[in-house]
Structure 1
Amino acid sequence: MENKFCYKCGNIATTREHVPPICLFPEAKDVLGLNFRKDLITVPSCDEHNSNKSHDDEFLMVSIAGIVGNNLVGYLQTQTKVDRAIRRKSKDFLNKEIIKNYKHQTLKSKNGKKYPVLYGNPNYNRLLNCFEHISYGVYFHEFGERFEGVVKMLLGFINYDDNNTQTMTEMVKEKFIINEIAKELKGKNPTVFKYQFFEPDQFGLIGLVMTFYEGTEVFVAFQPINSKEPFDLSMSLLNAGIPTFIEVGNKIFEFNKK
């Protein structure tokens, strides 16, 4: 084994883990024989952070493959592997583990086609946990060392009930586009998964955008253990509940609306 220590916790590695989980990448039999598993990323892992989280891997696949806005690959994964996984579960699996209090709705595409969808409350904390593991793995793959510090993230595919969080997600996305210095966009199977790191900012924070099925975006900020705590007057006002306007590019984002 090339590396002796787990990418996540630093314990002795006993195996290698796929990052993201291999189940997110369609099997050839489900996509007309096409190969969406070219040169998958693997990182050294202990048992706790690989084999013991297989249920989380399946949870993530079921949760994100069919998100509205994803590409055809995500749709095919939903109609095949995800469908098989759901059929193996109990009838309350979706409501209990994936999306609570869901309702059936119908969306109409630009060309008039109608699609059935589920609308409800996702298992947010479990999603964060899954994406945190992936971000740690991608960091290890990119830099060859385990990340030590604090990871913060926003899920760009969720519509938040809290106005500030929703506005923050939109602002972060715009900030990545406008202000950050991007590195190379990577991913050997970009229609399933691609990622892009950004140069450290003035506080040493390292940005990462991960995209699944070309429509599900996750924004990540790595704050290394030795970096200084970021301070921004606008953010201090925002956190104090004071109405705040922040300009990014040519857009204005309003927080704490009265």
Structure 2
Amino acid sequence: MKKVKCYMCDREATTREHVPPLCLFPAVKDTKGVNFRKNLITVPSCDIHNSKKSDDDEFLMLSLSGLIKNNIVGNFQQLTKANRALKRKNKNFIEKQVLRNHKFYKIKSTDGKFRTISVGNPNTERLSNCLKHIAYGLYFEEFKESFKGELEMFLGFIEYSNKNMQTFKKYIKKGFDIEKELNREIKGNNPAVFYYQFHEPDNFGLIGMRMVFYGAAEAYFSFKGKNAEKPFDLATALMLEGIKTTMELDGEKFIFNDEES
């Protein structure tokens, strides 16, 4: 019998891993019967890429469930499972592990009540590492083989101080929204918690993917396989050189390196 390899490496698979992690999906005991854990995706995994990253899974759940723009399911997960997890931690856990320069603020919600929120600088390196594992898992699920090549990632739910980064975030989102309108298949049996969408390979052989958590947290990926061409786009090259550049998608203009804005 042929041995099955891990979705992330060439080690033999000894178990199966949930992608995304199981802890992101509200448990039935909290939802009083609503099942958000039906038909979840699992992929073959070695011990290193599954059981030994439980701390990262919890970190991801705490980071994503606390976003202010989340849907009601994300807010519910933050008020139940996330809050229970935080109560088990020491008082400096958020500052040390989740948000740098952490502060609490109170904001007024649409119902007139005040809500306490956390503000700070997210641990983007750890976030990216967690999402990278999910991206590799979804690639395995989609194409039935592990990904070999270069993976680029952009976190759409992060607010950047750099104007170009903020504009680029809007540009990428617009591109994926156009693809969504072209009826690219949206996958994920529990879309209120998580769904994802692969693009067809572009003319360079790159494959795009978007994943969305709790209706708000979007992350964008580009898979460049070993046989894909090195992409070149003149507008992108000019932008990276610091030259004022305008890109247009579906009639909407995105201006980079604009000192007047």
Give the TM-score band, short-chain normalised.
Answer: over 0.9
Residue in 2 aligned with 1:235? Answer: 236
Report if aligned partners of 1:17, 1:50 keep a CA contact under 8 Å in 2: yes
For the residue of structure 1 that corresponds to 2:184, the secondary structure is: strand
Report if aligned partners of 2:140, 2:146 keep a CA contact under 8 Å in 1: yes
Q: What one-letter code is carried by the residue in structure 1 that aligns with 2:201? A: P
Distance 1:174 1:3 in 2: 42
Residue in 1 aligned with 2:28? Answer: 28
Q: What one-letter code is carried by the residue in structure 2 that aligns with 1:48? A: I
Question: Which residues in structure 2 correspond to 1:45-194 (within 5 Å)?
Answer: 45-178=45-178, 183-194=184-195
Q: Deviations over 1:108-156 (max 9, x none)?
A: 3344333211111000010000000001101101111111111111111
Q: Deviations over 1:4-24 (max 9, x none)?
A: 101011221111101000000
Offset, 1:203: 1.0
Distance 2:22 2:63 in 1: 15
Residue in 2 aligned with 1:17? Answer: 17
Structure 1 stretch displaced more, 153-162 or 105-114? 105-114
Q: What one-letter code is carried by the residue in structure 2 that aligns with 1:58? A: E
Offset, 1:3: 6.5
Structure 1 stretch displaced more, 38-47 or 246-255? 246-255
Q: 1:3 to 1:188 in 2, by over 3 A?
A: farther
Distance 1:106 1:152 in 2: 36
Residue in 2 aligned with 1:251? Answer: 252
For the residue of structure 2 that corresponds to 1:139, the secondary structure is: helix
Instruction: Please state if 1:39 is matched with 2:34.
Output: no
**Length, aligned pairs only:** 258
Where does the alignment leave 5 or more consecutive residues of structure 1 unmatched? Answer: none
Distance 1:3 1:186 in 2: 28
Structure 1 stretch displaced more, 228-237 or 27-36? 27-36
Q: Percent identity?
A: 51
Structure 1 segments of 4 or more deviating over 6 A? none
- Report the RMSD for the aligned CA atoms in angstroms: 1.6
Distance 1:213 1:179 in 2: 20
Where does the alignment leave 5 or more consecutive residues of structure 2 unmatched? Answer: none
Q: Deviations over 1:144-188 (max 9, x none)?
A: 111111111111111011221111111000012226755311111
Distance 2:3 2:41 in 1: 14
Report if aligned partners of 1:182, 1:196 keep a CA contact under 8 Å in 2: no
Report if aligned partners of 2:3, 2:12 keep a CA contact under 8 Å in 1: no
For the residue of structure 2 that corresponds to 1:78, the secondary structure is: helix
TM-score when scaled to structure 2?
0.94
Distance 2:194 2:248 in 1: 31
Q: Deviations over 1:164-216 (max 9, x none)?
A: 11111110000122267553111111111111111111111111111111111
Distance 1:102 1:163 in 2: 23
Q: What one-letter code is carried by the residue in structure 1 that aligns with 2:208? A: G
Q: What one-letter code is carried by the residue in structure 2 that aligns with 1:125? A: E
Residue in 1 aligned with 2:205? Answer: 204
Report if aligned partners of 1:182, 1:199 keep a CA contact under 8 Å in 2: no
Distance 1:212 1:113 in 2: 25
TM-score when scaled to structure 1?
0.95
